[in-house]
Copies of this chain bind each other. A is one copy, B any other.
């Protein structure tokens, strides 16, 4: 029995599970149809997502779309769409293109999403409206055997931390996995092909690209030549996937599907590592805003870049950094080459004789912050300026609240920023991230 058959046994629903799922889905559709009838609507519920396409893994997720006639006003669609989902347990209102309902039914985690019924994919439509076309494209082409190949690829992406188009992962969506298997035929062939993707590679499956794409991997949507199915995939996640594929082909193992949980370093071990290296650690924590991850993570990434840039501009060389949304807080971690900079820093000004050189001189001549009068370094003005913020900790405390971190994180920063340096940064809640910062390991190589 091959490794992949063994893995399939673990990830593929059994016939019994499929039967139970089908029965629940039938009951759910019946309820929806009767609610639609009661309300006199012309809507139609359809199962979409991996269950519709037969590429689902074991689990209890179900995506349902309710197709409304194209002439339905937007507000009516949203209101009625939400009303239709009102029978779900523990339901929450969520937001994508339209608001939708997330909740539970017979133990299944269900999303009921209203959208427009569109018959011609050439019509202008939202990403949500396009989904039924994606489902149909895949269902019509994927063989039964290939469905298992998709399952393997999805499980591989999950295990290697590259599954999901959401902002936290910036990885491979289910639809992208399906298209890749359609394109290359099987899970191993996709892994093999990954090695050949060059930056800017364009994969076309049935449709031709109708515009250039800026992303590192382009998989043209068969339903819309102007859309890249891999548009959410970041260069970093793509690189991790390719490395995972390379490593798996060299030495396949279950580790790629079920990574070992990583044991965090103890605070003592981390302190020893930092001391041996001669580097220093800083943690910056903001209160976590109550937002969906897809809204939060772009801000986390923006804030991360802003912080690295802040340290950089002030002469603190960041050796490594991480950012992550944890329970109740957003954490930014930095490892610095140097924890203390001199009490002066050189400001290099404009070349002598250009018009704004006079501004530089006017600013620094006799300035009490200047440690020297302006002097020439080659043909450029320079001045030694007193540095007050001589440690990353002081710098962060003084400046984080002045940065542009994203709307909600800015608000968090105004409420207070926790800055912890050295041993203070070795808090229990942070040690998982500290461990990844100091000793990065791929999930399959732990």
Fill in one digit per residue for A430-446: 1 if any B CB lies within 8 Å of its CB, else 0: 00000000011110010
For A379, what are the chain B residues with a Cβ–Cβ distance below 8 Å? 216, 234-236, 238-239
Fill in one digit per residue for A410-446: 1 if any B CB lies within 8 Å of its CB, else 0: 0000000000000000000000000000011110010
Bound Cα distance A259, B130 (Å): 80
Bound Cα distance A200, B60 (Å): 73
A279–B342 contact, CB under 8 A?
yes
B239–A276 contact, CB under 8 A?
no
For A354, what are the chain B residues with a Cβ–Cβ distance below 8 Å? 198-199
Tallying the copies of this chain within the complex gives 2
Fill in one digit per residue for A354-374: 1 if any B CB lies within 8 Å of its CB, else 0: 100000000000000001110
Min C-beta distance of A431 to chain B, whole Å: 18
Q: Which of A233-267 contact B (CB under 8 A)?
A: 234-236, 238-240, 242-243
A interface secondary structure, majority: loop
Contact partner of A239 (CB less than 8 A), chosen from B234, B243, B317, B352, is B352
B445–A373 contact, CB under 8 A?
yes
Fill in one digit per residue for A373-405: 1 if any B CB lies within 8 Å of its CB, else 0: 101111110001000001000000000000000
Bound Cα distance A384, B441 (Å): 13
Fill in one digit per residue for A197-211: 1 if any B CB lies within 8 Å of its CB, else 0: 111000000000000
Contact partner of A353 (CB less than 8 A), chosen from B198, B234, B445, is B198
Among A243, A352, A390, find the residue whose CB has the most chain B CB atoms closer than 10 A: A352
Known: A375-B441, A378-B236. A277 touches B344 (CB 8 A): yes
Min C-beta distance of A341 to chain B, whole Å: 6
Min C-beta distance of A133 to chain B, whole Å: 31
Q: Can you spell out 13 A-B residue pairs with CB atoms less than 8 angstroms apart?
A: A236-B376, A236-B377, A236-B378, A238-B353, A239-B352, A239-B376, A239-B380, A240-B376, A276-B343, A277-B342, A319-B346, A319-B384, A375-B441
